[in-house]
Amino acid sequence: MHLFDQDISLIQKEPLLFKGKVSSNWSVNGTPNGGYLMAMLTNAMVKCSDKKGTPIITANYISKSVPGEAEIIVEKFAKSTQFSRLQARLIQDGIERIRATGTFAYEKNECFLERYETSPPDIHSPDECIEIPSVPNFTILDNMEMRLDPECTGWMEGNLSDRSELKGWIRYRDRREFDLFSTLACTDSFPPPIMASQGMLAWVPTIELSINVRNIPKTTWLKCIFRTRFVNCGLLEEDGEVWDENNELMSISRQIAQYRTAGT
């Protein structure tokens, strides 16, 4: 079993109640990564859903999660011919940490139209990109390999950009194949793109994250681009696209986060 599968595994105690353990293996500065936690919650919802395809997952991060025991409670709240909608709540120490909703369609829904009104990001090959080095207390970097395009790595050396944009490649270090859960986690693993323009002092806790997985990747690497265009009132947005090596769209995301500087 791959480490990621072990760390999102759940024990079903009742039809809509699961027990699990939040791992420290996917942490950002000691805090479990939001995409990893979303994968855990989605794992519970998928186990309870009669439909599994093209999911739209939205998570609200209510309070800080920590490594350790967790309980996930699932609720089915709407069902139609096309979609099943569920809710999952992650509880630790009696406190609700995350509340997520999932919309699932039939896996074999026909694709009547495929139209991209934007091009895949132009990114140097993985061999030409710069790997994000391991950093103490950022265990996600020990388990995910991320390589940034040279065009957007100046912030690592204090050379800031006028654009809050990061693009590059990602894969699991143990070469775990991609599925719904691992794709969700990858879609929220890159550093916040605001760092490209503001540097490494930015603190960017997620408030809400939505990910729509359109396809399941079949390639070794995923090609990603994340952008932030608006920062005001202490909030920012982060829009993401994840493509495979064949320039097929895998997932899209929108995140709302707080922007804080050191000491605030």
Domain boundaries, the chain: 3-106+125-258
Determine the average pLDDT of the residues in 83-109.
Answer: 93
Q: Nearest CA to 206 among 188, 222, 223?
A: 188
Q: How many CB atoms sit inside 10 A of residue 86's CB? A: 27
pLDDT of 28 reads 94
Determine the average pLDDT of the residues in 200-227.
Answer: 92
CB 20 within 8 A of CB 65: no
Determine the average pLDDT of the residues in 217-234.
Answer: 96
Determine the average pLDDT of the residues in 60-65.
Answer: 97
106 pLDDT tier (thresholds 50, 70, 90): confident
Question: CA-CA distances (angstroms) from residue 30 to 9, 100, 136, 138?
Answer: 21, 22, 9, 7
Percent of the chain with pLDDT over 90: 87
Please count the CA atoms within 13 angstroms of the CA of 167 that sit on its side-chain side. 18
pLDDT of 264 reads 53
262 pLDDT tier (thresholds 50, 70, 90): low
Residue 245 to residue 169: CA distance in whole angstroms? 10
Q: Which two tokens stand for residue 65?
A: 């999660």
Residue 61 has pLDDT above 80, yes or no: yes
Residue 110 has pLDDT above 70, yes or no: no
3-106+125-258 is classed in which CATH architecture? Beta Barrel (2.40)
pLDDT of 244 reads 97
CA 49, 53, 59, 65 dihedral sign is positive
Residue 108 has pLDDT above 70, yes or no: no
pLDDT of 123 reads 97
68 pLDDT tier (thresholds 50, 70, 90): very high
Determine the average pLDDT of the residues in 118-140.
Answer: 95
CB 90 within 8 A of CB 136: no
